[in-house]
Structure 1
Amino acid sequence: MKIARIEAIPFAIPYRKPLRFASGEVHTADHVLVRVHSDDGLVGVAEAPPRPYTYGETQESIIAVIGKILAPELVGLSLLERETVHARMDRTVGNPAAKAAIDMALWDVLGRTLDVGVSALLGGFTDRMRVSHMVGFAPDDVMVAEAQRVRDTYGITTFKVKVGRRPVSLDVGACRALRAALGPDVELYVDGNRGWTPSEAARSLDAMADLDLTLAEELCPADDVLGRRWLVGRTGVPTVADESATTPAEVTRELLGGSATMISIKTARTGFTTSQQILHQCAGMGAEVVLGNQIDGQLGTACAVAFGAAHRLTARRAGELSNFLDMRDDLLTVPLQISGGELAVRTGPGLGIEIDPDKLAHYRTDV
Structure 2
Amino acid sequence: MKITRIEAIPYSIPYVHPLHFASGSVAEADHVLVRVHTDEGIVGVADTPPRPYTYGETQKSIMAVVEDIFSPQLSGLDIFARDRMQTVMDRTVHNQTAKGAVDIAVWDVIGKYLNQPVSSLLGGYTDHMTVSHMLGFKPAQELLQMALEFREKHGINTFKLKTGRHPITLDIEAARVLREGLGPEAHLYMDANRGWSANESAEVLRQTADLGMEFLEEPDDAREVLGRRRLVTNSSIPIAADESAPDLGTAAREILTGGANFLAIKTARSGFTEATKILGMAQGMGIDVYVGNQIDTQVGTIASVTFGAAFAHTSKRAGELSNYLDMADDLLAEPLSIEDGKIFVRDVPGVGTAIDEDKLAHYRNH
Q: What TM-score range do you get, normalising by the shorter chain? A: over 0.9
Counterpart for residue 117 of structure 2: 117
User: How do 1:47-58 residues align onto structure 2 when only pairs under 5 Å count?
Assistant: 47-58=47-58
**How many Å separate the matches in 1 of 2:204 and 2:114?**
51
3-state DSSP of counterpart to 2:309: helix
Counterpart for residue 130 of structure 1: 130
**How many Å separate the matches in 2 of 1:261 and 1:36?**
36
**How many Å separate the matches in 1 of 2:45 and 2:18?**
27
The residue identity in structure 1 corresponding to 2:283 is: A
Counterpart for residue 141 of structure 2: 141
Preserved contact between residue 119 and residue 307 of structure 1 (Cα < 8 Å): yes
Counterpart for residue 363 of structure 1: 363
3-state DSSP of counterpart to 1:6: strand
**How many Å separate the matches in 2 of 1:21 and 1:138?**
10
Q: CA deviation at 1:347?
A: 1.0
3-state DSSP of counterpart to 1:52: coil
Q: CA deviation at 1:259?
A: 1.4
3-state DSSP of counterpart to 1:264: strand
Q: CA deviation at 1:210?
A: 0.7
The residue identity in structure 2 corresponding to 1:233 is: T
The residue identity in structure 1 corresponding to 2:30 is: D
Preserved contact between residue 13 and residue 28 of structure 2 (Cα < 8 Å): yes
The residue identity in structure 1 corresponding to 2:229 is: R
3-state DSSP of counterpart to 2:184: coil
Counterpart for residue 181 of structure 2: 181
3-state DSSP of counterpart to 2:46: strand
Q: Does 1:62 align with 2:62?
A: yes
**How many Å separate the matches in 1 of 2:210 and 2:283?**
30
**How many Å separate the matches in 1 of 2:357 and 2:238?**
44
Counterpart for residue 349 of structure 1: 349
**How many Å separate the matches in 2 of 1:350 and 1:131?**
22
Counterpart for residue 243 of structure 1: 243
Preserved contact between residue 198 and residue 231 of structure 2 (Cα < 8 Å): yes
Q: Deviations over 1:178-232 (max 9, x none)?
A: 1111111001100000000001001011111110000100000021111110011
Counterpart for residue 311 of structure 1: 311
**How many Å separate the matches in 2 of 1:201 and 1:167?**
8
Q: CA deviation at 1:168?
A: 3.0
**How many Å separate the matches in 1 of 2:48 and 2:149?**
29
Q: CA deviation at 1:167?
A: 4.7
The residue identity in structure 1 corresponding to 2:142 is: V
Counterpart for residue 219 of structure 2: 219
User: How do 1:326-337 residues align onto structure 2 when only pairs under 5 Å count?
Assistant: 326-337=326-337
Counterpart for residue 18 of structure 2: 18
User: How do 1:21-36 residues align onto structure 2 when only pairs under 5 Å count?
Assistant: 21-36=21-36
Q: CA deviation at 1:352?
A: 2.2
Q: Does 1:6 align with 2:6?
A: yes
Preserved contact between residue 222 and residue 259 of structure 2 (Cα < 8 Å): no
Preserved contact between residue 167 and residue 204 of structure 2 (Cα < 8 Å): no
Counterpart for residue 209 of structure 1: 209
Counterpart for residue 170 of structure 2: 170
The residue identity in structure 2 corresponding to 1:97 is: T
Counterpart for residue 199 of structure 1: 199
Q: Deviations over 1:130-183 (max 9, x none)?
A: 100000000112111110111100000000000110253200001111111111
**How many Å separate the matches in 2 of 1:252 and 1:275?**
12
**How many Å separate the matches in 2 of 1:38 and 1:91?**
23
The residue identity in structure 1 corresponding to 2:48 is: A
The residue identity in structure 2 corresponding to 1:143 is: L
Preserved contact between residue 222 and residue 243 of structure 1 (Cα < 8 Å): no
List, as ranges, runs of 4+ consecutive aligned residues in structure 1 with deviation greater than 2 Å.
Answer: none
**How many Å separate the matches in 1 of 2:89 and 2:357?**
29
3-state DSSP of counterpart to 1:310: coil
3-state DSSP of counterpart to 1:120: helix
Q: Does 1:285 align with 2:289?
A: no
3-state DSSP of counterpart to 1:193: coil
Preserved contact between residue 12 and residue 31 of structure 2 (Cα < 8 Å): yes
Q: CA deviation at 1:325?
A: 0.7
Q: Which runs of 5+ in 2 are unaligned?
A: none
The residue identity in structure 1 corresponding to 2:151 is: R
3-state DSSP of counterpart to 1:16: strand
3-state DSSP of counterpart to 1:339: coil
Preserved contact between residue 46 and residue 353 of structure 2 (Cα < 8 Å): no
Q: Which runs of 5+ in 1 are unaligned?
A: none
- Alignment TM-score, normalising by the size of structure 2: 0.99
**How many Å separate the matches in 2 of 1:356 and 1:297?**
13
3-state DSSP of counterpart to 2:9: strand
**How many Å separate the matches in 1 of 2:39 and 2:166?**
54
Q: Does 1:80 align with 2:80?
A: yes
Q: Deviations over 1:88-119 (max 9, x none)?
A: 11111010000000000000011101101110
User: How large is the Cα RMSD of the aligned pairs?
Assistant: 0.8
3-state DSSP of counterpart to 1:18: strand
Q: Does 1:100 align with 2:100?
A: yes
**How many Å separate the matches in 1 of 2:340 and 2:184?**
19
Q: CA deviation at 1:353?
A: 3.0
**How many Å separate the matches in 2 of 1:193 and 1:219?**
6
The residue identity in structure 1 corresponding to 2:240 is: V
Q: Does 1:275 align with 2:269?
A: no
Q: CA deviation at 1:84?
A: 1.0
Q: CA deviation at 1:234?
A: 1.3
